[in-house]
Structure 1
Amino acid sequence: MISGHASDLATMIGESERQRAEVAQILASLSTGQAHWRPSEQKWSLLGHVAHMCLVNESYTQEIDACIAKARERGRLSKGPYKHGWFGRWFTRSMEPPPKRRWVTGKAMVPDPGLDGSEVGSRFEYVQGELDRLMGDARGVDLGRARFSSPFVRVLRLSLGTGFSVLLAHNRRHIWLIREVLAGDLFPVAEEGA
């Protein structure tokens, strides 16, 4: 969902909070071995998926923060309805689960395979909190006219509303992928007392 009105931000914050709780619940249920287990050398561990979400979201939040400030400075304010381009709508849909296409992950977005589970969980909690704060700060800003460049592909310009929607859809995609790994036949059973 790309925001059409300022009231949509509350729904988006609720979705972000739901994602944060779901990731925390998943991570709390895993042993260290399960958290680091990878289905193959080419695939990420469950921690890798969460760390990837952190890398992407943290980079985007920096751009979004600056975008909100510029929009307020330039008087780009509105309660909606907002207009978003076809590309932003397509890009958001392409991120939704289940994945319909594989995206090539740039080096800046590839997680370190030797991550600490508690650090990754804390980082995700923090970054999602920043995203929630920014969605709150964006109230009153024209989410269709305020635009920023993707931190990974500078020529890709997104409306503020599209940026929020893409991040939430991207999170849903990786949470879906995590659930797929958990449900797989090869996923290791937790050791007793682990």
Structure 2
Amino acid sequence: MKPVLKDQLLDSLEEQVEQHLRQCVEQFQNLSEDILLAPAANGGWSIAQCLEHLNSYGKYYLPQIQKGLTKAQSKPNVETFRSTWLGMYFNRMMDPQIGTGKYKAFKGHIPDQNLNPYAVVAEFIQQQETLLSYICQARHVDLNCIRIPISILQWIRLKLGDVLQFLIAHNERHIVQAQRNISISASIVNSEQA
């Protein structure tokens, strides 16, 4: 795997997180409760469930990232990052442009149907703001030396750079899914109210 400049990678990830924040605020935050909770036309997750699924990953990974960043403060900073083959595999799998397969959510990451949609949206926004601050902190550490246990098999540890890429690609995947629900859910709710 060819090394990449750390700042270029983090700039790209930061831009994606800022885009996710904008999309959430502009598209999801002001939707009605009915639209946020309406199941997808194909029986899939509602918008709120998509975001709650992402929140469940954030609840696991954000504290792990914070712990890794805190431990790495005393180590020398390295200006490049080299992804592992496993990290690249997970990132390709989650990328909505490349990884087009459907995956079953793991236990602990399956969202409930009975949600407070506004609390879910607010939590997602807060988590993205936290993620932005961690990306900023990651500029001052070696992304290669920090190892984060993955949520499904904690004995597998990925480099921080791989975990950030995975988390953000996973967010993108489910934001795209939630966006598909907006117009469909709105038309279903409107027809039910007519």
Deviations 1:94-141 (A, max 9, x none): 101145222221221112211112111110111111111111111121
Q: Residues of 2 paired with 1:150 and 1:162: CA distance?
A: 11
Tell me, in whole angstroms, the C-alpha distance in 1 between the residues paired with 2:125 and 2:30: 16
Gaps of 5+ in 1: none
Q: Residue 156 of structure 1: CA displacement?
A: 2.3
User: What residue identity is the alignment partner of 1:35?
Assistant: L
Q: Say whether the 8 Å CA contact 1:83–1:145 is kept in structure 2.
A: no
| Alpha-carbon separation, structure 2, partners of 1:142 and 1:15 | 21
Cα offsets for 1:65-116 (capped at 9, x unmatched): 111122223x1521x2211111111211110114522222122111221111
- Alignment-derived partner of residue 70 in structure 1: 71
Give the Cα separation in 2 of the matches to 1:4 and 1:85: 15
Q: How many residues align?
A: 190
**Structure 1 residue aligned with 2:128:** 128
1:87 paired with 2:74, answer no
Please report how far the alpha carbon of residue 183 of structure 1 lies from its aligned counterpart in structure 2 after TM superposition.
5.0
TM-score (norm 2): 0.86
What secondary structure, in the 3-state scheme, does the structure 1 residue paired with 2:80 have?
coil
The answer (yes or no) to whether the contact 1:39–1:187 under 8 Å persists in 2 is no
The question of 1:167 aligning with 2:178 is answered no
Q: State the identity as a percent.
A: 23
Match of residue 137 from structure 2: 137
- With over 3 angstroms needed to count, the CA separation of the structure-2 counterparts of 1:59 and 1:187, relative to structure 1, is farther
Kindly provide the amino acid, as one letter, of the partner of residue 9 in structure 1: L
Letter in 2 for 1:160: L
Q: Which has the higher helix share?
A: 2
Which moves more between the two structures, 161-170 or 35-44? 35-44
C-alpha distance in structure 2 between counterparts of 1:37 and 1:26, whole Å = 15
Mean Cα deviation higher: 10-19 or 127-136? 10-19
Aligned residues: CA RMSD: 2.6
Match of residue 188 from structure 2: 188
C-alpha deviation, 1:49, in angstroms: 0.2
For 1:12, the equivalent position in structure 2 comes to 13
Residue of structure 1 equivalent to 2:24: 23
Secondary structure, aligned partner of 1:148: strand
Paired with 2:32 and 2:65, the residues of 1 have a C-alpha distance of: 35
- Summarize deviations over 1:144-193 as a string: whole Å, max 9, x none: 222111133202211101111111100110011112333559951547x9
Q: Distance in 1 between matches of 2:43 and 2:152?
A: 22
- 3-state SS of the aligned residue for 1:6? helix
Question: What one-letter code is carried by the residue in structure 2 that aligns with 1:131?
Answer: L
**Are the counterparts in 1 of residues 53 and 110 from structure 2 also a CA contact under 8 Å?**
yes
TM-score (normalizing by structure 1): 0.86
Change in CA separation of 1:3 and 1:53 when aligned onto 2, cut-off 3 Å? farther
1:118 matches 2:118: yes
Q: How far apart, CA to CA, are the structure 1 residues paired with 2:180 and 2:15?
A: 24
Letter of the 1:39 partner, please give it: A
Q: CA deviation at 1:15?
A: 1.4
